[in-house]
Amino acid sequence: MTRQPAAGRQNRLAPEKVLLRLQNDQIEPVYLLYGEEKYLVRKAVNILKSRILISDDLKELLYTCFYASETDGEEVNNIAKSMPFFDQSQLVLLYEAEKLKEKDQKIIQGYITDPAPFTCLVFIAGETIPKGTLYSFIKKQFSNNCFGFSKLKYNDRLKWLQQIAAEKGLLPGLKNNFLKELLSTGHHLEALETQLEILSLYLQDQKDKDLSGPLPFGPAEISFRQGYLLTDALMKKNIRDVLKILNHFIASF
């Protein structure tokens, strides 16, 4: 990872272009993520995780998560400057970046003036870029790595769901109004994506893939706990648990 030269103001790219850049471009030593659309911020973080934490066996050694209200600049710096095991890159996340005290901002700024080539330090803030000397410095020196995610409007949310449905093999068979029905529930995008994942898994075991007729379940929101358990089972590739959770969910309709 190499330091990126200064370049104007922070990025105002479409969210899909930001995520594509994070997926394909060289990983940089410093990022600043913020915005109203927390779902997209989490997406961005997960992309960096998937690229850097490529081995489950080494994940605990190469990943550190801080909350600004519970840490200080020296602690962040010490981890960022520490050479990780096995000559790998490491990921350091600092959540609630807007809560970092000014004295700690100055300490961390000292580090990012010459960041370690083996560390990706990600500042995750609230709806706007935080105030302070550190963030002014980041906007100037790492402007191409400052990504804000505004709240998506209805048409953009619908476009996003269409893209997810296509990635999961649900198009063109999915009836046109279903995605609009999902959006009409007012649920956040993460819950809606989970429901499309459930539908995709359901159809894997169906001989008839036609989606023009009634679906086995409607656009009700999956509970947070169900979503967490399902995601965990999917990541672990535990098919038995995935089917158990899906059967329990479908039986509730």
Q: Is 176 within a domain? A: yes
Q: What value does the CA radius of gyration of the chain take, rounded to a whole number of Å?
A: 20
Burial of residue 92 (number of CB atoms within 10 Å: 0-12, 13-18, 19+): buried
**Both 25 and 137 in a single domain?**
yes
153-207 per-position pLDDT tens digit: 999 999 998 889 888 888 877 766 878 888 887 778 888 888 888 888 877 766 5
Res 223 pLDDT > 60 = no
CA–CA separation, 184 vs 182, rounded Å? Answer: 5
**Mean pLDDT score of the chain, rounded to an integer?**
83
CB of 106 closer than 8 Å to CB of 134 = yes
31-51 per-position pLDDT tens digit: 999 999 999 999 999 999 999
**Both 173 and 203 in a single domain?**
yes
Instruction: Give the pLDDT of residue 242.
Output: 75
Instruction: Give the pLDDT of residue 219.
Output: 46
**Both 66 and 101 in a single domain?**
yes
> At which of 149, 166, 194 does a domain end?
149
Q: How far is CA 128 from CA 20, 67, 133, in A?
A: 22, 17, 15
Mapped onto helix, strand or coil, the DSSP state of residue 223 is coil
**Both 92 and 184 in a single domain?**
no
Number of independent structural domains in the chain: 2
**Both 73 and 158 in a single domain?**
no
DSSP assignments along 115-178, one per residue: --TTEEEEEE-SSSPPPSHHHHHHHHHSGGGEEEEPPPPHHHHHHHHHHHHHHTT-TTTS-HHH
**Both 94 and 64 in a single domain?**
yes
Res 2 pLDDT > 80 = no
**Both 19 and 112 in a single domain?**
yes
49-65 per-position pLDDT tens digit: 999 998 888 888 899 99
Range of the domain at 175: 154-251
**Both 99 and 192 in a single domain?**
no
Q: Is 6 within a domain? A: no
**Both 40 and 119 in a single domain?**
yes
Mean pLDDT (whole number) for 237-244: 74
117-128 per-position pLDDT tens digit: 999 999 999 999
Instruction: Give the pLDDT of residue 135.
Output: 97
Burial of residue 200 (number of CB atoms within 10 Å: 0-12, 13-18, 19+): middle
**Both 164 and 145 in a single domain?**
no
pTM higher than the cut 0.85: no
Instruction: Give the pLDDT of residue 81.
Output: 96
**Both 98 and 160 in a single domain?**
no
Instruction: Give the pLDDT of residue 189.
Output: 86
> At which of 149, 182, 209 does a domain end?
149
> At which of 149, 184, 218 does a domain end?
149
What phi and psi values does residue 220 have, to the nearest 5 degrees?
-70, 150
Show Cβ contacts of residue 199 under 8 Å, excluding neighbours closer than 6 positions: 168, 170, 215, 217
Q: Mean pLDDT highest for which of 139-143, 180-184, 231-235?
A: 139-143
**Both 182 and 79 in a single domain?**
no
C-alpha 172: how far from its chain's center?
A: 27
Q: Is 1 within a domain? A: no
